[in-house]
Amino acid sequence: MELRKGIAVSPGIAIARAMVIDSKDYRIPRRSIMASQRAGEIKRVRRAFADAIRELDQIETAKRIEEGAIRDIFAVHMRFLRDKRFLKRVTDYIEKELVTAEYAVSTILREIASHFEKVDDVYISERAADIYDIERRLLTHLLGKVAEEVEHLREEVVIVAHDLAPTQTASFNKTFVKGFATERGGRTSHTAIIARSLGIPAVVALEDLMSCVTAQSTVIIDGNRGVVVIDPDEATLEEYRAHARRFTEFEHELDGFRDIPAVTRDGVPITLLGNVEFPDEAEVVLQKGGQGIGLYRTEFLYLYGGTEPTEDDHYHAYSEVARLMNGKPIVIRTMDLGADKVPHTNRHPQEANPVLGLRSIRYCLQNLPLFKTQLRAILRASTLGDVRVMFPLITTMQELCQAKMILRDVMEDLDEYGVPYNAQMPVGIMIETPSSALTAGLLATESDFFSIGTNDLIQYTLAVDRGNEHVSTMYSAAEPAVLYLIRSVIHDANKAGIGLSVCGEMASEPEFVMLLLGMGVRTLSMAPPLIPEVKKIVCSVTIEECNLLARKVATLDSQRQIKNLLRDAAGRILPVEY
């Protein structure tokens, strides 16, 4: 028996024989063509795009592809494949470089994927898996290779692989595929989102897993604790079978929380919002019982396609969400990218340390045409619902005042042309750095609301790169310094009488929900699938219990002590997960 620890990305217990899938990773050598062959290669590319779109459409319309989150991801792939600008990049590359269709597709897509992988935001960087998925699909049609299928399965298995593409995961028949484990991946990848939507237990980031699993192995996948057990003994098998039965009961219980109000036992209402990236995801927020959108990321308007988005591109994305939310709040974050993160442009110098460089609001303030284009679209959309704008990575009062001044300039432009907008649209900022946290009282005088972005706040406070395996264990929301800053921001926001939410991953981690409530947070924003679980915690506690927990945490001086205390408290409400 061998036990491996990874990252839990989809809850549940799966026990079955292993099916090992080799990673499909075509390496395309550069092959030159003659000028007379260009037209033929371009025709092959166009045919491959058309075939890939037809194939995705067939998968998407299959009966098992019913979950909204999965449809959203397929829609992203479809939009990319139908993007004429992207197709033109590939055909232009063939024209200019005189190379084969395969090499052009692989080169352009891997160039785009590399930009995703460099992004410091884990949620964004893991989108590279989608680009590689599109590459594999196109190359499959260009090379005439048949994608590996698991449709022929007639017995239950767990999939073990180096990595899985999102659409590959979506094609799994969950009647037979009971779970999966991969050597790569992260919690916020599209593959993980699909696994949660399908209800398939999954664990990722299991280094060298494939070296110790064979087709004869029995494997247990514990998607709650992030554990994989290979060839378990009989006692371990029986223990996990019992745990699986308890978890099934827990899942049925959670279903009942989707449609009830998020109110504590002593009658205090808590607002639960969703973090979204694409317009289609707004529907998932509603399906999971969310009360609005607390973080609408807009980066993919820039990262997908071959050119910067137009004002209408922005407006159509925002108006679609406003239509779906039907009056519920929508917080749109302005572009949160940096010098190393925006593909298809030469306006950025290379930076030795881009995380501390020209990124987020700093980049916008130095690229006013781009910034104003987005602000115009947000203002136009503000007439369609409860739309709010939020500036990321504000570190000083000067940055906030500059951003608001530009927003006023755009308002004046719209006035001049008679374009309607909500002149009272709320303007907020993300608190993501120690400097903004320590000066929150001052920043509150120019803000309608704060949203605490715990992911960056933790990273900047502890000087820890969470993507660096040598120091990633030091990255923890339970560190006293981080909690001190969060507590200070909450105090300053309440004193100023402005709105406050927490939108980082801390808001959706069960062990931190009670602590945040006890510290005074009344609005949490998270990935939509996690809303029912957080709602259960909210409905199971009183604010006085949360206050008591927060006071106890304030007396502790190590993240280990704090984490143990919080896990014990959450475990009493969610014993299945702990």
Q: Give the active site residues.
A: 190, 503
For the chain, what percentages of helix, strand and coil (3-state, to nearest 5) are there?
50, 15, 35
- List residues bridging with 274 in a β-sheet: 293, 526
CB 567 within 8 A of CB 214: no
Which own/partner pairs from 354-361 qualify as long-range (CB within 8 Å, at least 24 positions apart)?
A: 354/118, 354/120, 355/120, 355/459, 355/465, 359/393, 360/335, 360/336, 360/392, 360/393, 361/334, 361/391, 361/392, 361/393, 361/394, 361/399, 361/403
Mapped onto helix, strand or coil, the DSSP state of residue 384 is helix
CB 48 within 8 A of CB 108: no
Q: Retrieve residue 134's tokens.
A: 């599109």
CB 10 within 8 A of CB 196: yes
What CA–CA distance (Å, rounded) separates 483 from 476? 10
Give counts: helices (H), strands (E), the chain. Answer: 23, 16
What CA–CA distance (Å, rounded) separates 208 from 377? 47
Cβ count within 10 A of residue 161: 24
Residues 6+ apart with CB under 8 A from 276: 282, 284, 285, 293, 295, 296, 297, 321, 528
Task: For residue 429, give the H/E element and its range.
Answer: strand 427-431
CB 338 within 8 A of CB 375: no
Mapped onto helix, strand or coil, the DSSP state of residue 153 is coil
